[in-house]
Structure 1
Amino acid sequence: MSTRYDIAVRAEALLGEGATWDADAARLIWVDILGCRVHTYDPATGHRTVRTTGRHVGAAKPRAGGGLVLSLRDGVALLDPDGTFGWLHHDPVPGRRANDAAVAPDGSLWAGTMCDDETPGGATLTRHAPDGTAQVILPDVTVGNGAGWSPDGTLFYYVDTATRRVDVFDHDPDGEGAARLRDRRTLTTIGTGFPDGLTVDADGCVWVALWDGGAVHRYTPDGVLDRVLEVPAPRVTSCAFGGPGLRDLYLTTARTGLSRPTPLSGSVLVVRGAGQGLPQPAFGG
């Protein structure tokens, strides 16, 4: 049976990414990494905003005190509600940029990076605490991508796209640096396309967007594929639950690198009533 989609935002984003539901504002936040833009969308009113960052932006997440935390090419920054910009952690590395990111249950930002030329092992997954402290959680990453936690916070799911795997770790919130994660193992290996962004639902199942796979897959905690949503755009980059009751699944897509993009490549799509999402924490800074 085909999946029914609505077009939430018709756009031509080069690299749409980072779908995030901002519960306090009842809006969707998403970014165009290569377009250097942060977008918001209010599904109740249709109101949209666009902010140009002037540099590649891998993710934008709401802050507990208002405003946004931005994972940018040269580090992590804070954007206040009045538009004031300031660096939380400025760490420019030539040839490296931000990619996807997620906020952990403790309010820290776990930000992935990648090299422009996708140098194997040239990037990291780094934990950014609200006080600006940064700790490398995973070194030797190639394309840092989707990240998320189980409903009880004891498991961490992660995608390094180059591996074509979704991995799972035991998560220790009291560990230091890399000691926060233990016992890395494979949840699933993707055969068609490449795993990109992910989200975890209230049942503990993992939804994975597939770059060059034109789909979103849902996997049980045991790694069993139990649902496939086919998407009318080949490069699906992220997924997040939002809307009333966190029942609607929002998807970002990309058109970069496509010789013949589909009409919806670069748009944000939504599947109504797709499942039951989890409330996502805001960044604590």
Structure 2
Amino acid sequence: MTSLDVAIRADAALGEGPTWDTREQRLIWVDILGSRVHTYDPLSGRRTVMVTEQHVGAAKPRVGGGLVVNLRDGVGLYGPAGSSGSSSSPNASGGFRWLHRELVPGRRGNDAAVAPDGALWAGSMRYDEDRGGGALSRIAADGTAHTVLDDVTVSNGTGWSPDGRLMYYIDTPTRRIDVFDVGEDQLPHNRRGLVTIDADEGYPDGLTVDAEGCVWVAFWDGGAVRRYTPDGRLDRVIALPVRRPTACAFGGADLTDLYITTARTGLVAPHPLSGSVLVVPGAGKGLAQPAFAG
């Protein structure tokens, strides 16, 4: 039987983007609509919260310390890489600067992921979720941006196989998990469907890839996290006490604990744990996630 615990009891409107920071041995996650970046140290229980000036779709650690954040109007940096100051909490004491600004009225940043080469893959969506109103872009360490997909509705889970040769991607309303081949140029090619989701299973949202190359996906309005093998076969289902899990990531010292963010937005009668961060100890073996190279 799967053991499910509450890692962080919270009331996030739209908890998202759990990321294990291997340098600081902490979990980073965001409340998008609350404009907050959270951290959590499971050993000490220490938690920090930073308020951002815009809705924040994702926050990821940087190689030299600090964070890269996917905001409403683009991608920004907190705490300059190589700073002599402490990066133990995500605050603005190290300063903030824009790395790439892209002001599109009615649109905001959503989920994001760091590729094996250290580039940030930043997704976006329209607030009204208008079809094709979002994009998926690759942001290099120097801020150079390249739009890879420009017909996206709600850009969500992005992840890579252990060898970096495959990229998995979710545009939530399509009810698909797609897979690409990754070329020598580090860009995805040959898009195809890996899994098509039935309507009664909810919507695929955030994802993570484990050390065996299997894909774990949180299901919005599906109340579960599901694991798929590299050939698209459903391998495991973890039922959750909340209706809207949003994303998942492996963390802990040995990367075996599965952390799951959740949301309460839009629910008439949310479960008491909606908006909290859940954890499944010993769920599997994750991959160490690269830090942003900028």
Provide TM-score, normalisation by structure 1: 0.97
| Counterpart Cα distance in 2 of 1:252 and 1:54 | 22
Q: Which residue of 1 aligns with 2:219?
A: 210
**Structure 1 residues 69-114: Cα deviation after superposition (integer angstroms, max 9, x where no partner):** 0000000000004430000001111000011000000000000000
> What secondary structure, in the 3-state scheme, does the structure 2 residue paired with 1:8 have?
strand
1:78-227 correspondence runs (5 A): 78-80=77-79, 81=87, 82-174=93-185, 180-191=187-198, 192-227=201-236
Aligned amino acid, residue 188 of structure 1: V
> What secondary structure, in the 3-state scheme, does the structure 2 residue paired with 1:246 have?
coil
Q: Which residue of 2 aligns with 1:232?
A: 241
Q: Which residue of 2 aligns with 1:266?
A: 275
**Count of paired positions:** 280
Q: Which residue of 1 aligns with 2:36?
A: 37
Provide structure 1 residue ranges, at least 5 long, that are not aligned to the other structure: none
Q: Please report how far the alpha carbon of residue 244 of structure 1 lies from its aligned counterpart in structure 2 after TM superposition.
A: 2.1
Aligned amino acid, residue 148 of structure 2: I
Q: Which residue of 1 aligns with 2:6?
A: 7
Provide structure 2 residue ranges, at least 5 long, that are not aligned to the other structure: 80-86, 88-92
> What secondary structure, in the 3-state scheme, does the structure 1 residue paired with 2:254 have?
helix
| Counterpart Cα distance in 1 of 2:38 and 2:188 | 32
| Counterpart Cα distance in 1 of 2:41 and 2:94 | 19
**Structure 1 residues 144-199: Cα deviation after superposition (integer angstroms, max 9, x where no partner):** 00000000000000000010000000011415xxxx21111111012110000000
| Counterpart Cα distance in 1 of 2:4 and 2:61 | 26
| Counterpart Cα distance in 2 of 1:121 and 1:7 | 36
Q: Which residue of 2 aligns with 1:61?
A: 60
| Counterpart Cα distance in 1 of 2:30 and 2:77 | 15
Aligned amino acid, residue 238 of structure 1: A
Q: Please report how far the alpha carbon of residue 125 of structure 1 lies from its aligned counterpart in structure 2 after TM superposition.
A: 0.1
| Counterpart Cα distance in 2 of 1:9 and 1:173 | 40
Q: Which residue of 2 aligns with 1:25?
A: 24
| Counterpart Cα distance in 2 of 1:172 and 1:52 | 38
Q: Which residue of 2 aligns with 1:76?
A: 75
Between 1:74-83 and 1:138-147, the stretch displaced more is: 74-83
| Counterpart Cα distance in 2 of 1:129 and 1:244 | 29
> What secondary structure, in the 3-state scheme, does the structure 2 residue paired with 1:162 have?
helix
Q: Which residue of 2 aligns with 1:252?
A: 261
> What secondary structure, in the 3-state scheme, does the structure 1 residue paired with 2:17 have?
strand
Provide TM-score, normalisation by structure 2: 0.94
Between 1:82-91 and 1:33-42, the stretch displaced more is: 82-91
| Counterpart Cα distance in 2 of 1:218 and 1:119 | 29
| Counterpart Cα distance in 1 of 2:278 and 2:183 | 35
| Counterpart Cα distance in 1 of 2:102 and 2:192 | 30
